[in-house]
A and B are shown apart, each in its own frame.
Chain A
Amino acid sequence: MAINETIPGSHIIETFPGGEIVLAKSEEVMKWAKGSSLWPLTFGLSCCAIEMMATGASHFDIDRLGSGVFRGSPRQCDLMIIAGTVCVKMGDCLKKLYEQMPEPKYVIAMGNCAIGGGLFYYDSYSVVKGVEKLGVPVDLYVSGCPPRPEDLLHGIMKLQEKIKNAKQRVLPKDKE
Chain B
Amino acid sequence: MQNSECFQKIKNKFPDISIEEQPNGLVIPKASLLEVAVFLKNEISFENCHCVTAVDRKDKMELVYLLYSTPNHFMLTLKTFVALDDLTVETVSGLWRSADWLERETFDLFGIKFLNHPDLRRIMNPDNWTDFPLRKDFKMEGFIPRPQSPGLKG
A78-104, CB under 8 A of B: which get 1 and which 0?
Answer: 000000000011000000000000000
- The reply to whether A126 and B125 form a contact with Cβ atoms under 8 Å apart is yes
In this complex, which of A122, A125, A126 has the most chain B Cβ atoms within 10 angstroms of its Cβ?
Answer: A125
A20 adjacent to chain B (CB < 8 Å) = no
**In chain A, what residue has the closest Cβ to B140?**
A125
* Cβ contact within 8 Å between B144 and A122: yes
A123: contacting residue among B124, B125, B145, CB under 8 A: B145
Chain B residues near A123: list those with CB within 8 A.
Answer: 143-146
Interface size counted on chain A using CB atoms at 8 A:
9
User: Does residue B151 face the partner (Cβ distance < 8 Å to A)?
Assistant: no
Any B CB within 8 A of the CB of A60: no
A122–B145 touching, CB < 8 Å = yes
Q: State whether B126 touches A88 (Cβ < 8 A).
A: yes
Within 8 A of A (CB), among B27-80: none
The one of B126, B143, B145 in contact with A89, judged by C-beta atoms closer than 8 angstroms, is: B126
Check B142 for interface membership: any CB of A closer than 8 A: yes
- Asked if B25 CB lies within 8 Å of chain A CBs, one says no
Contact residue among B133, B145, B146 (Cβ-Cβ distance under 8 Å from A126):
B133
In the complex, how many angstroms separate the beta carbon of A131 from the nearest chain B beta carbon? 14
CB-CB contacts below 8 Å: A110-142 with B: 121-126, 129
A115 → B minimal CB distance (Å): 16
* CB of B69 to closest CB in A, whole Å: 34
**Roughly how many angstroms separate A66 CA and B142 CA in the complex, as a whole number?**
39
Residues of chain A contacted by B143 (CB below 8 angstroms): 123-125
Complex Cα–Cα for A88 and B125 (A): 8
A89 close to B144 (CB less than 8 A)? no
The contact string, 1 if C-beta is below 8 Å from chain A, for chain B 111-154, is: 00000000000001110000001000010101111110000000
Select one of A88, A122, A125, A129 contacting B138, CB under 8 A.
A125
Structural contact, B142 and A129, CB atoms closer than 8 A: yes
Chain A hits for B142, CB < 8 A: 129
Q: Which residue of A lies closest to B144 (CB)?
A: A122
A88-B126, A89-B125 given; A125·B133 CB < 8 A = yes
Distance in angstroms between the alpha carbons of A122 and B147 in the assembled complex: 8
A88: which B residues are within 8 A, CB to CB? 125-126
Shortest distance between the CB of A111 and any CB in chain B (Å): 19
Other than A121-B144, A122-B146, A122-B147, give 15 A-B pairs with Cβ distance below 8 A: A88-B126, A89-B124, A89-B126, A122-B145, A123-B143, A123-B144, A123-B145, A123-B146, A124-B143, A124-B144, A125-B133, A125-B138, A125-B140, A126-B124, A129-B142
Question: Would you mind naming 15 contact pairs between A and B with Cβ atoms under 8 Å apart?
Answer: A88-B126, A89-B125, A121-B144, A122-B144, A122-B145, A122-B146, A123-B143, A123-B144, A124-B143, A124-B144, A125-B133, A125-B138, A126-B124, A126-B125, A126-B133
> Across chains A and B, which 9 residue pairs bring their CB atoms closest together, nearest first?
A122-B146, A125-B133, A123-B146, A89-B126, A122-B144, A125-B140, A125-B143, A88-B126, A123-B145
